Amino acid sequence: MDSRGSELAVGPAREDALPASAATAVKIVVVGGFGVGKTTLVGSVSEIRPLTTEETMTEVSIGVDDVRGVEQKDATTVAMDFGRITINEQLVLYLFGTPGQQRFWFLWTGLFEGALGAVVLVDTRRLEASFDVIGRLEDGGVPFIVAVNVFPDAPNHPLDEVRAALDLPAAVPIVACDARSRASSRDTLLALMRYLYWLSTQPAAPVAASAATE
């Protein structure tokens, strides 16, 4: 990754094809609990009309999906969301949004294959929905940042308090985000890219002597 941190060239939405010179693709995954705004973020920042797999929620979901705080939600992602950003003539960013309900988490394995990192969207009204999501990323060794989606009726907590509540390591960035805003979603992705670059500059952890002799 270029140490200068290429700015994401997010202009008006386009339906054009990839430039013929595009040679490198970067995969980013947007994760989070049910109803935190993953589909909205992918749609707001994608340069193409995003592919979504939202289906209308029916009575079957009653007692299965936790809709506390998002009772007005009437549709849900059942497979994935997909968007694209052309960063420059050679580099393209692909965005994949995961379903939030645990009953669809079996899809995560395929979506995370080859991913460079992840954005974890959280809702302060239902912060507990993020615990298992973050735990899965940590267990899988997937680099991630946390983005607090600023809902109009959500409690406005300082980011340091949210970090403490989520028990995030000090090095993991946490940012505020309005998933409806193209610029805010862009800035969130830039925060992830900068974090990934920082990780790439860190020295590798030393190998334990016992492991090195095996």
Helix (H) / strand (E) containing 40: helix 38-45
Asked whether residue 14 is domain-assigned, the answer is no
DSSP assigned state of 104: G
User: Hey, how many other C-beta atoms are within 10 angstroms of the C-beta on 113?
Assistant: 9
* Per-residue buried b or exposed e for 152-168, using 16+ beta carbons within 10 Å of the residue's own CB: eebeeeeeeebbeebeb
> What is the distance between the alpha carbons of residues 77 and 89, in angstroms, rounded to a whole number?
31
Structural domain boundaries enclosing 126: 24-60+73-200
Domain annotation covers residue 132: yes
In 3D, which of 177, 170, 203 has the Cα closest to residue 191?
Answer: 177
Distance, CA of 106 to CA of 121 (rounded, Å)? 19
Rounded to whole angstroms, how far apart are CA atoms 172 and 163? 9
170, part of any domain: yes
Q: Which helix (H) or strand (E) holds 77?
A: strand 75-77
Task: Indicate the burial class of 80 (C-beta count within 10 angstroms; 0-12, 13-18, 19 or more).
Answer: buried
Strand, helix or coil at 97?
strand
- Per-residue pLDDT tens for 129-159? 899 889 989 998 999 999 999 998 888 899 9
Element (H, E) at 139: helix 131-140
CATH assignment of the domain containing 133: 3.40.50.300
For residue 65, tell me if it sits in a domain.
no
Number of domains comprising the chain: 1
Domain membership of residue 12 (yes or no) is: no
Q: What pLDDT is attached to residue 81?
A: 84
Residue 126 lies in a domain: yes
Q: Is the pTM of this model over 0.75?
A: no
Does a structural domain hold residue 13? no
Answer whether residue 95 is part of any domain: yes
Mean pLDDT by 10 residues, the chain (214 residues): 48 49 78 89 89 51 48 50 83 83 59 88 92 90 96 90 95 96 95 94 69 47
